[in-house]
Amino acid sequence: MSILVDASTRLIVQGITGREGSYHTKMMLEYGTNVVAGVTPGKGGQTVEGVPVYNSVEEAVTEHRVNAAVLFVPPQRTLGAILEQIAAGVKLIITIAEGVPVKDMRTIYHINRANKDITIVGPNSFGVISPGKAKAGFMDHRIYLEGSVGLMSRSATNSYETVNEMTKQGIGQSTCVGVGGDVIPGTSFVKLLPLFEKDEQTKAIVMIGEIGGADEEMAAAYIKNHVSKPVIAYIAGRHAPKGKVMGHAGAIVGADGAGSAESKIEILTAAGVYIADSPAQIVERLNSLLKRT
């Protein structure tokens, strides 16, 4: 099993002729991902790494049975690109771009709210990978290992660090999702939890959060009532100074302490989530959990 992407994924790459788009198309193909088509307006008829390019998403979708898209388009064009995917009926849209305006993601988020069968991952995300099966994104796939831990993360570097440590110790992953560090992510933890809970391959869930926003708090409420699998969380930014943006637009804490690491950790602990203080401790905990089962 695994979630979102797997051997049955039929992926289109929007922005396939760009530098990043073409390079990562090659990487995704190398990993065994079924990339069926690419889209770049005005470049229809070309091929990239043997993948046919179309002028519009609609044409690509008419010619191929598509069930997922990954977007390598600049942040200024992300809103339009996601809307084009939605209009063409694509139900899983993964977006990489960093620096998408908040208002654009607000528009997407609320369209998504009214069309619940669509899943939008990102922006500001490394993508999604189900080790051994498929990947849609730019993560370095060599650090991943197929296994039973579902991982979702707001930060790319902290997730790489964790996955690397897991793989070194022989603990594999079912699916790793880059939720992204933006103020409004298309998909937050709470939307992924039911998927991991339902997925037979996933035996434990790792959640890498950070200060700011309310996504960890919402996840805690869901975990308390609906998740039976063990959840381990790491919250970065415990010691970040208050009222400072630490780089991710989302990682800012108000003077009232809402969204602080302390408040998130307290709420998650109350929901039965194990709190690790580092990627190394996540792996320690996984070792003891998975050996018992």
Q: Token pair 């788009």 is at which residue?
A: 21
Rounded to a whole number of angstroms, the minimum distance from the CB of residue 80 to other proteins is 13
Rounded to a whole number of angstroms, the minimum distance from the CB of residue 106 to other proteins is 6
232 near other proteins, rule: CB under 8 A: no
Region 121-180 residues binding other proteins, contact defined as CB under 8 A: 126, 138-140, 143, 153-161, 164
Given candidates 38, 132, 150, 279, which one binds other proteins under the rule CB under 8 A?
A: 279
222 near other proteins, rule: CB under 8 A: no
Choose the stretch contacting other proteins; rule: CB under 8 A; options: 27-35, 181-189, 192-200, 262-270.
181-189
Q: Which residues are catalytic?
A: 248
Complex with other proteins: residue 143 or 233, whichever CB lies closer:
143
Region 188-217 residues binding other proteins, contact defined as CB under 8 A: 208, 210-214, 217
3-state secondary structure the chain: CCCCCCCCCCEEEECCCCHHHHHHHHHHHHCCCCEEEEECCCCCCCEECCEEEECCHHHHHHHCCCCEEEECCCHHHHHHHHHHHHHCCCCEEEECCCCCCHHHHHHHHHHHHHCCCCEEECCCCCEEEECCCEEEECCCHHHCCEEEEEEEECCHHHHHHHHHHHHHCCCCEEEEEECCCCCCCCCCHHHHHHHHHHCCCCCEEEEEEECCCCHHHHHHHHHHHHCCCCEEEEEECCCCCCCCCCCCCCCCCCCCCCCCHHHHHHHHHHCCCEECCCHHHHHHHHHHHHHHC
221 near other proteins, rule: CB under 8 A: no
Rounded to a whole number of angstroms, the minimum distance from the CB of residue 79 to other proteins is 11
Rounded to a whole number of angstroms, the minimum distance from the CB of residue 65 to other proteins is 31
Rounded to a whole number of angstroms, the minimum distance from the CB of residue 243 to other proteins is 9
Residues lying near other proteins in the complex (CB under 8 A) are found at 75-76, 99-104, 106-107, 109-110, 113-114, 126, 138-140, 143, 153-161, 164, 181, 183-184, 208, 210-214, 217-218, 236-241, 244-249, 251, 255-256, 259, 277-280
